[in-house]
Amino acid sequence: MEYAIFIALAGFVAATIGAEFGIVFTNGMMSDLVPKNKIGWLSGTGWAMGYVGGLLTLIIMILLIIPASETNVTMLGIPSLLGFDAASFAGERFAGPFTAMWYLVFIIPLFLFTPDAPSKLKLKQATIAGISQLKQTFSLWREYANAFKFLAASMIYRDALVGVFALGGIVGAAVFDWPITTVGIYGILLSITGAIGAYAGGRLDDHFGPKTVIIGGIIILFIGTIATLSIGKDYIFFYIAVEPPVADGGLFAAVSERTFVLVGAIVGLAVGPVQAASRSMLVHIVPHDKITEFFGLYALSGKATSFMVPMSIAIVTALSQNFRIGLTPILVAFAIGLIGIMLVKDPQQH
């Protein structure tokens, strides 16, 4: 058992490191693929495709592969196509290999058809030069102060997004006693709106600029988070009384549940544009020869403090003994991130 846990953890760490390396370089390629006035479209469309891909893999797994423990058939009402039974949890464990195969198939077009900048240095030389360049960048931090302001602001509001991703499921399960299948359906609906929002946000990005899109998205997410926390079984928006859900009343049958789903959909629409516009913002404010370097710092800043909001939620929840109060650190992080992004200069607006 110890060896199995160790192998699983090692695999997870290796996959995470590989994914982060890949994301840094694919982000850095954006400025070489389209003109700057199309960066928003490219980033938004790319993020939307990521939502679609994740949604398709989830649908395939829950409809065709993973059997439910109660019935030993999938949500589609058929036996697992790979013969898995619920007792072994083989369907859930197959998610790892399936993800790897999906990644392998869909990375092929990138390698075959996407143009790449020519290689200038060998690996050892490039590594030494990269470290030297990074030191130089930090020594000239005043010259790149605007970019570092953005990294600090995005670090905070992206931490808030980590809390938002868990918000709906936590509140849905706690307030409405939703089973895992209902939470899953709710998650699918949010993925759909996330894809739509990311694509539309990319178009808005090219028209209004990424800073405007990010500010608008954070404001919607701030209000949406408050609205999510304002809904209970028999009330909405703190004070409006409604009929509570009844047993066997159907999926999202109660007014409170439908309101909760609607608010979640609006939140989903705003998440994608904030994520996509953040990438294009960095492209606009960083010199072309520093793009990959700053996307590395962007990835590092996003991961270095990603535990802060979840940890704050856990601490505040434990102290208050109230999950609604416990989720308020999300609002604090959004507020700080919003103030920070307002201090960043957008070259498209100056």
The enclosing domain of 327 has a CATH number of: 1.20.1250.20
Domain assignment of residue 120, yes or no: no
Q: Is residue 125 part of a domain?
A: no
Domain of 273, in residue numbers: 2-115+130-349
In a domain, 196, yes or no: yes
pLDDT digits (tens, 9 = 90+) for 268-318: 899 889 988 988 888 888 887 777 777 877 777 777 677 788 788 888 888
In-domain check, residue 181: yes
Residue 334 placed within a domain: yes
The pLDDT of residue 213: 92
Spell out, as residue ranges, where the chain has pLDDT lower than 50: 121, 123-126, 129, 350
Task: State the pLDDT at residue 125.
Answer: 46
Scanning the chain, the segments in alpha helix (DSSP H) are: 2-33, 39-60, 90-93, 95-113, 123-139, 145-176, 180-208, 210-229, 255-285, 291-304, 308-320, 323-326, 329-342
pTM above 0.75, yes or no: yes
Share of the chain above pLDDT 70, in %: 83
Q: Residue holding tokens 């995005």?
A: 154
Q: How far apart are CA 231 and CA 222, in angstroms?
A: 15
| Cβ(286)–Cβ(144) below 8 Å | yes
Domain count, the chain: 1
Q: Take residue 265 and report the two structure tokens written for it.
A: 């959909």
Model confidence pLDDT, tens digit, residues 152-198: 898 889 888 877 876 667 777 777 877 767 777 888 888 889 899 99
Confirm whether 123 is domain-assigned. Answer: no
Interatomic CA distance for residues 303 and 307, integer angstroms: 8
The answer as to whether 66 is a domain residue is: yes
Q: Is residue 194 part of a domain?
A: yes
